[in-house]
């Protein structure tokens, strides 16, 4: 008659390669990128830009620290939307006067304020906190292909 002995699992010692790196407040690793929005879908591009602004594409992503990059969007007027969104989607704002609620369809917003339309799409995908407001300031959006950020030497980014 043989008795079986329980085998204890091997306990591994963590080495330095398995440790998690957390970014500290004041982390300075932000880079500048230029994204051309010509022919891209508004929502898909805005989602990818929001992820870059938050820093979720980096291995040093920390939820409590802003580790994102600066993004310059050019040709925001040439972005496209799919389906019937041009007629159905509405943007509303309030003038702070009695009866001052105004509503604009997406088609009118893209004609009059293409940069603001893209900024709103990205801002609504960012966290609704003080850090989300800070992340939104790193987005620079322009309706045409001219921008004043050449001194930062932004790299071209394909999304």
pLDDT for res 11: 57
pLDDT for res 104: 96
pLDDT for res 22: 82
**Is the pLDDT reported for residue 4 higher than 70?**
no
CB 122 within 8 A of CB 136: yes
Picking from 76, 90, 80, the residue whose alpha carbon sits closest to that of residue 119 is: 76
pLDDT for res 25: 85
- In this predicted model, what pLDDT tens digit does every residue of 54-101 receive, in sequence order? 999 998 898 999 999 999 999 999 999 999 999 999 999 999 999 999
Domains (range + CATH), the chain: 28-81+112-156 (3.90.1180.10)
Six-digit token pair at 107?
A: 């088609």
- Tell me how far apart the alpha carbons of residues 35 and 157 are, in angstroms, rounded to a whole number: 5
- Percent of residues, the chain, with pLDDT higher than 90: 77
- Tell me how far apart the alpha carbons of residues 150 and 69 are, in angstroms, rounded to a whole number: 16
Who's near 43: CB < 8 A, 6+ residues apart? 81, 121
pLDDT for res 29: 84
- Degrees, nearest 5: CA angle 107-138-118: 5
**Is the pLDDT reported for residue 15 higher than 90?**
no
**Is the pLDDT reported for residue 5 higher than 70?**
no
Phi first, then psi: what are they for 134, rounded to 5°?
-65, -40
């Amino acid at each position: 008659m043989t008795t079986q002995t329980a085998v204890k699992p091997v306990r591994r010692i963590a080495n330095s390669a398995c440790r998690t790196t957390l970014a500290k407040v004041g982390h300075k690793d932000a880079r500048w990128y230029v994204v051309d929005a010509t022919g891209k879908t508004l929502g898909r591009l805005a989602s990818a830009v929001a992820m870059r602004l938050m820093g979720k594409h980096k291995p040093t992503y920390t939820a409590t620290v802003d580790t994102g990059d600066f993004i310059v969007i050019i040709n925001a007027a040439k972005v496209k939307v799919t389906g019937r969104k041009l007629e159905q989607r509405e943007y509303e704002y309030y003038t702070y006067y009695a009866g001052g609620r105004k509503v604009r369809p997406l088609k009118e917003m893209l004609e009059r304020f293409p940069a603001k339309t893209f900024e709103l799409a990205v801002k609504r995908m960012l966290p609704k906190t003080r850090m989300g407001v800070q992340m939104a300031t790193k987005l620079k959006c322009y309706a045409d292909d001219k921008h004043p950020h050449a001194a930062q030497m932004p790299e071209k980014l394909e999304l």
